[in-house]
Chain A
Amino acid sequence: MLDVTILLDGLAYGMVLFIISVGLTVTMGLMRIVNLAHGAFAMIGGYFATMLLGAGLPFFAAALLAAVAVGIVGAAVELTIYRPLYRKGELAQALMTFGLTFVVIAALTTVFGTGIKPLPIPPALNGVIDIGFRTYPTYRLFLVAVGLVLALLLWLLIDRTSFGARLRAAVDNPRMARAVGIDVNLLFTVTFAGGCALAAFGSVIGAALLPLEPYYALRYLVLFLVIVGVGGIGNFKGSFVAAILLGIIDTGGKFLLPQASAYLFYGAVIILLLLCPHGLLPAKSAA
């Protein structure tokens, strides 16, 4: 039964990675921008939530409020800082967003201190649940459920709504999308804000797996970028597959080969990227 536990743990981990990095795949695919500040937005959400929890708010209210707040911050940042970046090269984008990450880290450590910020999970999720053949921590099942629901909602949003159709058009061919009258700029802002909000939400509910600490934005950025790259940039289904695959590989490695788990993870990433340089699902479209 150990194998099932590993699979479930990997699935829960993969869901957290998916929720945080799905925004990144859309911004990198839609806006063609190298966004190294995505981890910073997730981190802002997590730290903000610890403050809200400290003020006595319940866990879920704090998670949602943090997501909304970071979404608003994301929209403001997109309008002011990212706009001028679209016309610059990859290097300028990478540097600028890297600098932004530094600033966020410095600001957050100034306000919140430099220790690990505990973000306790609510007592309702603290127990274990009987799943037929064994018991399993409620919290991880909750993560799997939330991840599945969000993936389903995103799929409906992107595949089944007019907003999603316009988004896919803008990813496939932004100039043509503009030519047929789609307000690509507005689409950029809304999508960017949504991606930031999801990242913040993911970092709050996944804080027990990816602990909040001063270097959060840089440490896990590699992970988020890797998921986007392996999944195929701009492809949200690809990110879903990649996040779960890499989540299971990483978790399985830690259980079965604790000495070699990191080699296993990054080795898998390198092999996957070399075999399919454009990702597992390389279609340019978001769907």
Chain B
Amino acid sequence: MSVPLATKGLAAATPSFQIANAWHVVPWALALVFYFTAGGYLSLGTHVLIMILFTLSLDLALGVAGIITLGHAAFFGFGAYAAGILAARLSNDPLLGLAVATLLTGLFGALVGMLILHTAGVTLMMLTLAISALLAEFANQAHWLTGGDDGLQVGRMAPLFGLFRFDLWGHTAYLYALAVLFLWSLAAWRIMRSPFGRSLDGIRQNPRRMRAIGTPVWRRLVVAYGLSAAMAGTAGALEAQTTRAVGLGALGVLASGTVLVMLILGGTRRTYGAFVGATVYVVVQDVAAQIDPFRWMFVVGILLVAVVLFLENGLMGLPEAARRVLRGSRSRSGGR
């Protein structure tokens, strides 16, 4: 019996693709089905994909590493402006722009992280707020570079791989965003299950104990923050390239709040929490804005309050909560 046990242990330690994991195909298949059936909603779909990536980046920083940040839009905006400025001034190759924007944002994130991750709690929240405000102010003032409050117009991107033109209906943009999201979520999935990801888990739960067993807490947090920033930067760059415009709103407090809402709505530290949260949020916002553009804040606010009060694990926690209710209070808290 020892052999199967050992294999089982191994399978648990290294992520492998088993039949039981086959349902992972479902969200991606749905995204492809949407591509063929969306019609005029394709650009909204692209926006959803970008927001999913942005939310996923926050999940890495906040959900996994426990860095409570109120200014994550700084990195989304940084990536968007980097890609936009690059396209306007140097090269309009989409992949080059995406890579450079991701790298720059990652470096910027790591730099900011080195500066602020000595602190924790409310001080850290305020530092993240102040840094995003500082960046927003820079984007506002540096008119020569960013277009200030007029926004930055980004020219048409060169065809992807020199083959696929970015068409008016957003077909290329959608598939481009989907492919990038797929690669990043694969990377995120792998990171969260690596020893590095496990140590972030530990740091979130008890930084002092992790330090006591010899984990370089600050360094791990800086790396996680940089990775998360890079991911957010990719999302911003995608947004700039597909909408061909960058506005100051990409950097604002509201954008930081929005991404928090998406993450919490879906549920933190769940493979598809970001997917569900961002999709529901963007769709609800779209519908509410069609009713009355100024009421959507009300809906979002109520959603936020309701999730905190009634759905501590987000929408992804619903099935578990329902199961627990059905089984009575015999709750098995499986590692969570």
Contact = CB atoms under 8 A, between A and B. Distances in A.
Contact of B301 (A91, A92, A100, A274): A100
Contacts of B260: 94-95, 98
Contacts of B303: 99
B298 A229 contact: no
B195 interface: no
B123 to A, nearest CB: 5
B62 interface: yes
Interface in A77-107: 81, 84, 88, 90-92, 94-96, 98-107
Contact of A103 (B264, B301, B312): B301
A99 B131 contact: no
B223 to A, nearest CB: 20
Contacts of A219: 253
A233 B125 CA distance: 13
B118 A91 contact: no
A94 B134 contact: no
A114 to B, nearest CB: 6
Q: What is the interface residue range for chain B against chain A?
A: 35 or more
A274 B126 CA distance: 11
Contacts of B70: 94
Contacts of B118: 274, 277
A226 interface: yes
Q: B115, B118, B123, B260 — which one has the most chain A CB atoms within 10 A of its CB?
A: B123
A155 B117 CA distance: 35
Contacts of A84: 309
Given A96-B308, A222-B129, A226-B130, A103 B123 contact: no
A157 interface: no
A99 B302 contact: yes
Nearest to A103: B301
Given A94-B70, A95-B260, A262-B137, A102 B300 contact: yes
B91 interface: no
Contacts of A100: 301, 305
A148 interface: no
A274 B115 contact: yes
A98 B257 contact: yes
A99 B298 CA distance: 8
A203 to B, nearest CB: 18
Given A225-B129, A262-B137, A270-B130, A28 B122 contact: yes
B305 A103 contact: yes
B44 interface: no
A263 to B, nearest CB: 7
Given A225-B129, A226-B129, A270 B309 contact: no
Contacts of B253: 218-219, 221-222
B125 A34 contact: yes
Contact of A102 (B121, B131, B133, B304): B304
A102 B122 contact: no
A117 interface: no
A118 to B, nearest CB: 20
Given A225-B129, A266-B130, A278 B308 contact: no
A233 B121 CA distance: 11
B130 A99 contact: no
A98 B123 contact: no
Contact of B130 (A102, A103, A259, A273): A273
A267 B305 CA distance: 33
B134 A106 contact: no
B68 A90 contact: yes
Contact of A274 (B116, B254, B308): B116
Contacts of A107: 298
A102 B264 CA distance: 16
Interface in A38-88: 81, 84, 88
A162 interface: no
Interface string B308-331: 110010000000000000000000
A269 interface: yes
A10 B9 CA distance: 65
Contacts of A218: 253-254, 257
Contacts of A104: 301
A5 interface: no
A99 B301 contact: yes
A138 interface: no
A222 B62 contact: no
B295 A91 contact: no
Contacts of B127: 270, 273-274
16 contacts: A95-B264, A102-B301, A103-B302, A106-B298, A110-B295, A114-B294, A218-B253, A221-B253, A226-B129, A226-B130, A229-B126, A266-B130, A273-B119, A273-B127, A273-B130, A274-B118
Interface of B: 62, 68, 70, 115-116, 118-119, 121-123, 125-127, 129-131, 133-134, 137-138, 140-141, 253-254, 257, 260-261, 264, 294-298, 300-305, 307-309, 312
Given A100-B305, A274-B118, 6 more contacts: A91-B62, A92-B308, A99-B303, A226-B129, A262-B141, A274-B116
